[in-house]
């Protein structure tokens, strides 16, 4: 096939994190995407919980202060991106309502066809093993189907996946502490796979 010059892949990482676990995964995803040659926007969604709830958990309040400088996700980030990786803690087997609240504002973009055809992938955390990680990622994927997205999971496409063990998307058991090297490597691998897929699509589409 004739080579076509195209711009780098644009990757948006849009996440919610109350106490820092998903934020750490999101940073590793950003590293992996940048290393794979993408332009990256790391964005947190807006907090929607009441102040009293946040302040009742010191780890939550501290993390919010520590990440106050992370820009908030907007519709422009979705429009700009060729690929989007969403990160969320598990909430009873589902994505956090803060992330859903952002997703639920995207009706106009969806209606205008501005989300279809992009690459999507997801990562998560729960406090316990078997605590709902796979169902959380699958629940997010329902939206990717409705958007007409191209879902790119990590599968078992790298040796790290046989250690991290989640083919649906990177996940971490927060009850074991902060994400270690295995989870962080899996996050970087997932990002690389997303960038490679989005790059192939971008080149193919530019070639017509
Ligand atoms: C309302 C709520 C529901 C939760 N449900 C579960 C659950 O069903 N299983 C589980 O293992 N952890 C559950 N958790 C724990 C979170 O998933 C965990 O604290 C989170 O993944 C940590 O990520 P973060 O540090 O990025 O906030 C729940 C937490 C909250 C606040």
- Cα(194)–Cα(58) distance, integer angstroms: 35
- Cα(53)–Cα(76) distance, integer angstroms: 30
Measured from the Cα of 60, ligand 1's closest atom is 27
Domain ranges of the chain: 10-206
pTM of the predicted protein model? 0.97
Report which secondary-structure segment, H or E, holds 12: strand 10-15
Measured from the Cα of 18, ligand 1's closest atom is 27
The predicted-structure confidence for 87-115, as pLDDT tens digits, reads as follows 999 999 999 999 999 999 999 999 999 99
Q: How far is the CA of 17 from the centre of ligand 1 (A)?
A: 10
Q: What is the CATH number of domain 10-206?
A: 3.40.50.360
The predicted-structure confidence for 18-40, as pLDDT tens digits, reads as follows 999 999 999 999 999 999 999 99
Percent over 90 (pLDDT), the chain: 97
């Amino acid at each position: 096939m004739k080579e076509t010059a195209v711009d780098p892949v644009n990757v948006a990482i849009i996440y919610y994190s109350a106490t820092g676990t998903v934020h750490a995964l999101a940073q590793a995803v950003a590293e992996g995407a940048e290393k794979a040659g993408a332009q990256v926007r790391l964005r947190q969604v807006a907090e929607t919980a009441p102040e009293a709830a946040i302040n009742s958990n010191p780890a939550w309040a501290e993390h919010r202060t520590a990440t106050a400088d992370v820009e908030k996700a907007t519709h422009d980030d979705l429009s700009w991106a060729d690929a989007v990786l969403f990160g969320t803690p598990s909430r009873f087997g589902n994505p956090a309502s803060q992330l859903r609240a952002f997703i639920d504002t995207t009706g106009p973009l969806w209606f205008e066809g501005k989300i279809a055809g992009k690459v999507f992938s997801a990562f998560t955390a729960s406090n316990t093993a078997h605590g709902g990680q796979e169902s959380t990622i699958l629940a997010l994927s329902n939206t990717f189907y409705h958007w007409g997205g191209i879902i790119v999971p990590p599968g078992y496409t790298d040796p790290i996946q046989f250690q991290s063990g989640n083919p649906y998307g990177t996940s971490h058991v927060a009850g074991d502490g902060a994400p270690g090297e295995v989870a962080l490597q899996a996050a970087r691998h997932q990002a690389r796979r997303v960038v490679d897929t989005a790059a192939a699509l971008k080149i193919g589409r530019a070639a017509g």
